[in-house]
């Protein structure tokens, strides 16, 4: 295999949540370096593929969420995600 290939952010998030649960169950769990890193990874996944208050992705699309979008929809999402700070 030529490095890690992540085919689905949803599956990766589910895996990270299960891993987080196991790490939290260990002594010193929530305060451990591993738990903090897993939390950061989950937050980053949520930035790329946001979830609503009901825990579902629904129509909260981003350029990176890996949903089946048309090329025009994806382009619109890309340009709407760029901020003035990105341009400077």
Token couple for 55:
């825990």
pLDDT (tens digit, 9 = 90+) per residue, 22-79? 999 999 888 999 999 999 999 999 988 888 888 888 887 787 777 776 767 767 766 6
Q: How far is CA 48 from CA 30, 64, 78, in A?
A: 24, 6, 12
CB 49 within 8 A of CB 23: no
Does the pTM surpass 0.75? The reply is no
Count of H-run helices and E-run strands, the chain: 4, 0
58's CB contacts (< 8 A; 6+ apart) are 52
């Amino acid at each position: 295999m030529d490095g890690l290939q992540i085919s689905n952010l949803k599956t990766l998030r589910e895996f990270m949540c299960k891993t987080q649960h196991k790490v939290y169950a260990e002594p010193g769990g929530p305060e451990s370096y591993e738990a903090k890193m897993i939390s950061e990874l989950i937050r980053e996944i949520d930035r790329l593929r946001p979830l609503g208050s009901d825990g579902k992705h629904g129509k909260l699309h981003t350029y990176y969420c890996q949903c089946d979008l048309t090329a025009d929809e994806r382009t619109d999402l890309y340009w709407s995600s760029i901020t003035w700070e990105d341009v400077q």
